[in-house]
Amino acid sequence: MQQEFIKLHYDIISGDYIRGGEASSNLKKALMQLGIDSSIVRRACVGCYEAEMNIVIHSYGGEIEVAIYKNKIEITARDKGPGIEDIDLAMKEGYSTASEEAREMGFGGGMGLPNMKRSSDEFVIESVKGEYTIVKMTINIE
């Protein structure tokens, strides 16, 4: 097993649009301090932000964990709550189940999951209706 050299954890609160984006902003600072290439930082932060906002918009709360290795960044987003009924449909660009409140604030365009996948070298999503969703993204550094 590869030794982690840094692990970050962020609790994400459902409906907290004010603090939505803090996890990805803090991740950006950490990655930049480590001297990681800006194109890798951008991809990691896009994936993290989309996961963070999906937790804010669609779940009952959750967490994001980031493990930064010498050769890769692993981002795991876990949430509690409704789960995704049809993952294939949810992966289609433009498909959204966001509330009217989220849409009025400019969220819910249906690009969250597609952007997470596009930003990742490896992307895995697992969801159980009524229980949870877990998204795992890996971004290679080397």
Predicted TM-score (pTM) of the model is 0.93
Topology annotation, domain 6-140: Heat Shock Protein 90 (3.30.565)
> Going by C-beta distance under 8 Å and a sequence separation of 6 or more, which residues neighbour residue 106?
none
The mean of the pLDDT values for the chain is: 94
Instruction: Tell me what pLDDT residue 71 has.
Output: 95
104 pLDDT band, cuts 50/70/90, is confident
> What would the mean pLDDT of 72-101 be, rounded to a whole number?
94
High-pLDDT (> 70) share of the chain, %: 97
**CB-based contact 59:51 (threshold 8 Å):** no
Is the four-CA dihedral 59, 120, 42, 65 of positive or negative sign? positive
Spatial separation of the C-alpha atoms in residues 103 and 57, rounded to whole Å: 10
Residue 3 has pLDDT above 80, yes or no: no
Domain boundaries, the chain: 6-140
